[in-house]
Amino acid sequence: MSTSQRFYTIHRTLWFTTTALTGVLAGFLISHCLILGRFFNWMLAAGDDAFFSDIFAPFRTATRANVHYNAVLWLSLLVGLLWLVSSFVLQRDRILALTAGLSSFWVGAVFFASGFAEAEEAVCSGVADQALRALYSALNLPLHRGFAVAYSLAFLVLLWAGSRQMNRHIAAS
């Protein structure tokens, strides 16, 4: 196998992994919008603050659920960056890699810039004051719906681009 073929294989593996992780994250966010996010807003609206401090925070600590979720996010970001670099080296799909391939970067930027990251952490840890609870309630579903749409669109675009690239590669062989 030549060096260019080996590099192409690495590039395709990075694209595949980026696409798969983007699809998983789209699924996470869709699930959050349909079930968990609504449940959290419902619990906050009911005024059941003890749920977060007495039940959810210990569950979260014991299962490390947020750590596992964040691992997928960080892996997605890392693989997306590697795919971006390989796209620039090969001079293929650079804009696609910068936008859809780095969807975790763009979603993360909005997540932190909006102040929602602080509110979510405080609510899920059971230590949120009224202002953070209100911010969380106001942004939880709209923000996560936007993230679900962004990841879903990125996933579809990545699938489309990968199949287009594969067809070109097969035609050239």
Q: What is the chain's pLDDT, residue by residue, as a tens digit (173 residues)?
A: 788 889 889 999 999 999 999 999 999 999 999 999 999 999 999 987 789 999 999 999 999 988 999 999 999 999 999 999 999 998 888 888 888 888 989 999 999 999 999 999 999 999 999 999 999 999 999 999 999 999 999 999 999 988 877 666 666 66
Handedness of CA 52, 151, 170, 9 (dihedral sign): negative
User: Which CA distances in Å does 103 have to 78, 83, 113?
Assistant: 11, 12, 15
Q: Which residues contact 135 (CB under 8 A, 6 or more apart)?
A: 115, 116, 119
The pLDDT value recorded for residue 170 is 67
Report the alpha-carbon distance of residue 104 to residue 88 in Å, rounded: 19
The neighbour count for residue 99, using CB atoms within 10 Å, is 16
pLDDT, residue 48, reads: 79
Give the model's pLDDT for residue 92.
85
pLDDT at 169: 62
Question: What is the per-residue pLDDT for 167?
Answer: 65
Encoded tokens for 5: 């073929």
96 half-sphere exposure, CB direction, 13 A CA radius:
21
- Contacts of residue 28, defined as CB under 8 A and 6 or more positions apart, other chains included, come to 69, 72
Nearest to 16 by CA among 153, 155, 147: 155
